[in-house]
């Protein structure tokens, strides 16, 4: 991280790095490019308080390229992330960002960069036929603009936040220091990737970017573009129209950003993108409350076990969704629930599971009841300003008791869970992802009784399920789509109270988003509108016979117009089936 002034933004950036769970261990190497005394004091405080932070002071401004190269030489990791100090990260940003680098064909990765109002600042760099200079695609579109909700590859990325292997960066001899705060990142990508689309855009990692806040940031724009033009003009073909065609969009009326530079060839040309019918802008408008922060409270008692709690991963996805709407959000673990109880700029969103939250006056208190409805009393419900519940059936009953509430079903992060040909290294016939919580869960009891083997990933199964069924203690959430896609059948069950009162677990949404077929054993609990948006197979039969049918070629080749919750898919797509108890 290079820093030149901006004490307040730098403080916010560093605070976000340690406030949110990154999902990976990291060190922070900061190059202080001759900052003022206020910024220098800020950096020294962080270096003294956090062992992960190392600060290297330069008396002069080395600028981005040289400063980043100096910082890289002082780093120790096999993977390096270049991060601007005018950014703020979100939960699990680093785990998601680094995942594509497991693939040797991927040379680098960038998150979805959004402005403070939630609109897109960067989602990959493309090149037009008018100039060798690239431009960030879909700038200014809403943060959840549909074409930016899927992972894809590009020739180049922006180094406001970019991950790359240390060996690749070293082999390229780093950023070219002839560029002064501009074009060095795209130049690096073209040198490393040789013009191939080998850089990954990671939509489920979201980073806020206050672009262009460094003093003197744009003084060398013309020189940078001239150098880039001289180096890369005529080397590679344009590629932007292919992305628009893939997204069913039509680029029209290209215009230069600076007409005075057209003659010299280093103006950047961008099109007006006309939408084709069926391509949506986004699901809703930005919330436009930059002073607002959502505190998502989950019942997980300890950060050390967060990866084993489904509520944590659900909260991570919600944080990213809020940031795409221009609203900052954080996750409060059980031990942090009452740390900021008097902050009236906080909206508390309690994901009600097994633990109760005692409301305090001041902040707005919202409950989202997603599981264990039997543990919630009328008194608790009435203490909240408003109640949301993941069951239409429960809401109907609660309203009759005078509770102000509405149905808000659980959901899936379609930036991660979507129909895909990506599969896990090993596939499983009857995939069951769950912790036992020291009880014989319904799926396990049924499988044992009917002599059907399950492939279990979870904890606390010793003495409850045959141990040869247990394949591992957990699957990283970033890897779940591949496991779902490669499994023949994904098995899920509900606690009795959830099943009786119509609460549908988050896992069902995730597998449906991957293109699965849902076979509910309690069809009356299905939401009213689901039969038109998700494929169903409802029948009364035993566990074993249902598995056989779900795996059958007859079902898979039936030619159904299968539709997932994230868009239409073809019958030839790998489609995991889904059995729900």
Report whether 97 contacts 214 (CB < 8 A): no
Cβ within 8 Å of residue 287, ≥6 positions away: 118, 322, 325, 326, 327
How far apart CA 178 and CA 160 sit, in angstroms, is 18
User: For residues 580 and 526, what is the distance between their CA atoms, to the nearest angstrom?
Assistant: 12
Q: How confident is the model at residue 570 (pLDDT cuts 50, 70, 90)?
A: very low
The CATH superfamily of 2-275 is Spore Coat Polysaccharide Biosynthesis Protein SpsA; Chain A (3.90.550.10)
Whether the predicted pLDDT of 57 surpasses 80: yes
pLDDT tens-place string over residues 94-143: 999 999 999 999 999 999 999 999 999 999 999 999 999 999 999 999 99
Q: Whole-angstrom Cα distance, residue 283 to residue 563?
A: 18
CATH code, residues 430-580: 3.40.50
At CA 434, angle to CA 430 and CA 437, rounded to 5?
140
Least confident of 309-323, 334-348, 375-389: 334-348
Least confident of 1-5, 10-14, 83-87, 564-568: 564-568
**What is the chain's mean pLDDT, rounded?**
87
Backbone angles phi, psi at 318, to 5 degrees: -65, -40
Contact 127, 218 (CB under 8 A): no
Mind listing the pLDDT tens digit for each residue in 274-303? 766 555 565 555 555 556 899 999 999 989
Give 260's contacts (C-beta < 8 A, 6+ positions apart): 267
Tokens of 352: 């009600």
Computed on alpha carbons and rounded to an integer, the radius of gyration of the chain in Å comes to: 25
pLDDT > 70 fraction of the chain, expressed in percent and rounded: 84
**Residue in the block written with tokens 């039936």:** 558
Confidence of residue 558 (pLDDT cuts 50, 70, 90): very low
Calpha distance 376→48 (Å, rounded): 45
Question: What pTM does this model have?
Answer: 0.90
- In which residue ranges of the chain is CATH 3.90.550.10 found? 2-275
- E strands in 448-494: 455-457, 470-472, 489-492
Place of tokens 């040869």: 468
Place 575 in a pLDDT band, splitting at 50, 70 and 90.
very low
Q: In this predicted model, which residue has the larger pLDDT, 20 or 505?
A: 20
Element at 512 (helix H, strand E): helix 506-513
């Amino acid at each position: 991280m290079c820093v030149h002034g901006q004490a307040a933004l730098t403080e916010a950036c560093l605070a976000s790095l340690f406030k949110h769970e990154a999902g990976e261990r990291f060190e922070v190497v900061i190059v202080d490019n001759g900052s003022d005394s206020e910024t220098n004091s800020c950096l020294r405080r962080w270096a003294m308080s956090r062992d992960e932070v190392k600060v290297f002071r330069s008396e002069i401004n080395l600028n981005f390229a040289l400063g980043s190269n100096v910082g890289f030489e002082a780093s120790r990791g096999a993977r390096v992330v270049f991060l601007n100090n005018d950014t703020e990260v979100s939960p699990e940003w680093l785990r998601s960002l680094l995942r594509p680098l497991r693939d040797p064909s991927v040379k680098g990765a960038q998150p979805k960069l959004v402005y403070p109002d939630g609109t897109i600042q960067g989602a990959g760099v493309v090149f037009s036929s008018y100039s060798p200079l690239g431009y960030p695609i879909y700038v200014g579109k809403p943060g959840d603009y549909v074409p930016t909700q899927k992972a894809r590859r590009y020739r180049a990325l922006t180094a406001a936040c970019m991950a790359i292997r240390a060996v690749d960066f070293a082999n390229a001899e780093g950023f070219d220091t002839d560029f002064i705060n501009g074009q060095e990142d795209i130049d690096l990508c073209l040198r490393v990737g040789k013009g191939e689309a080998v850089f990954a855009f990671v939509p489920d990692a979201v980073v806020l970017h206050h672009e262009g806040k460094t003093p003197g940031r744009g003084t060398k724009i013309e020189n940078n573009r001239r150098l880039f033009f001289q180096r890369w003009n005529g080397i590679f073909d344009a590629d932007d129209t292919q992305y628009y065609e893939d997204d069913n969009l039509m680029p029209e009326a290209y215009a230069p950003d600076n007409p005075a530079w057209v003659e010299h060839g280093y103006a950047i040309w961008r099109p007006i993108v006309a939408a084709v019918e069926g391509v949506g802008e986004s699901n809703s408008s930005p919330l436009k409350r930059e002073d607002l922060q959502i505190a998502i409270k989950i019942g997980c008692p300890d950060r050390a076990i967060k990866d084993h709690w489904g509520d944590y991963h659900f909260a991570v996805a919600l944080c990213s969704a809020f940031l795409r709407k221009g609203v900052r959000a954080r996750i409060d673990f059980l031990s942090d629930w009452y740390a900021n109880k008097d902050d009236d700029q906080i909206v508390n969103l309690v994901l009600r599971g097994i633990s109760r939250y005692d409301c305090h006056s001041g902040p707005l208190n919202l409950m989202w009841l997603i599981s264990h409805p039997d543990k919630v009393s009328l008194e608790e419900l009435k203490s909240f300003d408003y109640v949301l519940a993941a069951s239409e059936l429960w809401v109907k009953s609660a309203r009759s008791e005078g509770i102000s509430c509405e149905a808000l079903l659980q959901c899936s992060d379609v930036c991660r869970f979507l129909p895909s040909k990506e599969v896990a290294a090993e596939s499983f016939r009857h995939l069951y992802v769950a912790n036992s919580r020291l009880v014989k869960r319904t799926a396990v009891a049924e499988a044992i009784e009917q002599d059907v083997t399950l492939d279990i990933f979870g904890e606390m199964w010793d003495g409850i399920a045959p141990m040869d069924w247990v394949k591992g203690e957990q699957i990283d959430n970033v890897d779940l789509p591949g496991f779902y896609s490669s499994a023949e059948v994904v098995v899920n069950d509900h606690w009795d109270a959830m099943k009786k009162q119509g609460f549908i677990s988050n896992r069902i949404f995730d597998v449906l988003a991957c293109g699965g077929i849902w076979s509910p054993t309690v069809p009356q609990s299905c939401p009213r509108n689901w039969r038109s948006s998700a494929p169903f197979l409802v029948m009364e039969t035993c566990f074993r016979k249902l598995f056989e049918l779900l795996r059958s070629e007859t079902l898979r080749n039936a030619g159904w117009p299968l539709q997932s919750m994230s868009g239409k898919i073809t019958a030839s797509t790998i489609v995991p089936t889904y059995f729900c108890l």
